[in-house]
Amino acid sequence: MALMSFDPTRAAGLETLADFVPRAGRAYAAERNTDRGPGDRANVSTLSPWVRHRLITEREVVEAVLERHSLEAAGKFVQEVYWRTYWKGWLELRPSVWSRYRSGLAPALDGLSPADRATYDAAIAGRTGIEGFDDWARELLELGYLHNHARMWFASIWIFTLGLPWQLGADHFLRHLLDGDPASNTLSWRWVAGLQTVGKTYLATTQNIEFATEGRFRPTGLATEAPAVSDDAPVPPPAAPPTPAPLPRGRVGLLLHEDDLHAESLAESLAAAGSEVVAVAAPTAGEERSPLAPIAPLVGRFTAHALVDGRDRAVSAFGAPADALDGLTASALIGWARAHELTAIVTPFAPVGPTRDRLDAAARGLADEGLSLTPVLREWDARAWPHATRGFFPFRERIPALLREQGIGRQAR
């Protein structure tokens, strides 16, 4: 069977969604944990690269699935979509966890002994000699994608068998995954390490890997214990969730970024607020995801083409001219605003991560010039994020109500 590939367009994402919908019910629940390798992903959706950039939105995905299946039948898949929403909300309420992870990367790399550095280099290249792990390492480099279970096994072996810092593994994933999401990636690695649910770790075992790969891999020499990683920074209490900001009136520029490329679905709320979109812009490349090294070329190309696709669709939706920006800097945005005589700039809300860091810095420079940069918070996020105050299972209990509140699914009609 041919290896999968990902076309960074909304059209390709919608085609993949339509192909998956018939399998999103009980078949998905029964087979989703099996990793048959990159040549056969029929048991999972593979939608995450498109959802990560919101070429297609979480709402669209769940709506399409619940048009075909009941929530009872498709509950496992709907929960998987909401896991990403939960992680984003959890980090949104605790942004210091992101900044602490980022600031800890350079010390983690510098603190490696020569032997540990050799192990690290072997791990990222797929040369450890550990069956399965090396295959996943190469699959990540070649395709930019891994089955969710493979990600968990990889992280567990990285931390507990190879004894490498979790931060460096998270950084490697974030730079090489097409669906590399700051919240999902960082917090999933923290969970495996025993930091997210304090003291609870994930141990990869030979038996589980052999079973879930249908005998493809049977690694030996894996750690038999997974002591939680120590951390002197307790999980901070949740902050107040973000609330929708009043949208500006007048001549507005719509700024796109890699975290949300479905601007056409914002048209109605912008028009209702009196925001006249007279210009559209997007950067030519995504943000660097790491202070240690650039993103993988595969990820860079995917993101750059996704930005063009999102920008072109926004031009069609709003009938406004488009500009390509050399980065999300204050100077670039000020020049763009002056060229189109903008009174304000709006942008889809960027959750905690590199894009948000860049936009926050740009907003301060814009304010000095009397220009506002207003984030547009989607209803999907605004309703769900306030409930990410504890673990996922209390959050999961809110899913039926969240769907009803938004009129999604058969139970909402």
pLDDT at 248 (0 to 100)? 95
User: Coil, strand, or helix at residue 64?
Assistant: helix
Q: CATH assignment of 10-92+383-412?
A: 1.25.40
The C-alpha atoms of residue 397 and residue 81 are separated, in whole angstroms, by: 14
- What is the radius of gyration, based on Cα positions, of the chain? 21
* Whole-number pLDDT of residue 2: 46
pLDDT in tens, 282-335: 999 999 999 999 999 999 999 999 999 999 999 999 999 999 999 999 999 999
DSSP assignment string, 177-212: -TT--HHHHHHHHHHHHTTTTTT------HHHHHHH
Helix extents (H) in 194-296:
206-212, 267-272
Indicate the fold that domain 97-212 takes in CATH: DNA Cyclobutane Dipyrimidine Photolyase, subunit A; domain 3 (1.10.579)
Identity of the amino acid at 4: M
- Give whole-number Cα distances, 159 to 101, 153, 186, 204, in Å: 16, 10, 14, 10
Q: How far is CA 313 from CA 267, 281, 380, 409, in A?
A: 12, 12, 21, 27
* CA atoms 361, 362, 368, 372: torsion sign: negative
Contact in structure between 111 and 64 (CB atoms under 8 Å): no
Helix or strand run (H / E) with residue 116: helix 114-125
Q: What's the pLDDT tens digit per position in 393-413?
A: 999 999 999 999 999 986 544
Pair type for strands 250-255 and 275-283: parallel
Report in angstroms the alpha-carbon separations of 58 from 33, 76, 379. 21, 15, 11
CA dihedral for 180, 183, 186, 189, sign (positive or negative): negative
Compute the half-sphere exposure of residue 244: CA atoms within 13 Å on the CB side of its CA. 15
Amino acid 3: pLDDT: 52
CA atoms within 13 Å, Cβ hemisphere of 7:
9
Q: Name residues of the chain where pLDDT drops below 50.
A: 1-2, 412-413
- Predicted local confidence at residue 411, as pLDDT: 52
pLDDT at 410: 64
Q: Map out the domains of the chain as residue ranges.
A: 10-92+383-412, 97-212, 250-376
Cβ(61)–Cβ(192) under 8 Å?
Answer: no
Task: Let me know if the fold of 97-212 is the same as that of 250-376.
Answer: no
pTM assigned to the model: 0.96
To the question of domain 250-376 being in CATH 3.40.50.620, the answer is yes
CA atoms of 196 and 212, how far apart (whole Å): 25
* Nearest residue to 79 via CA among 370, 340, 397: 397
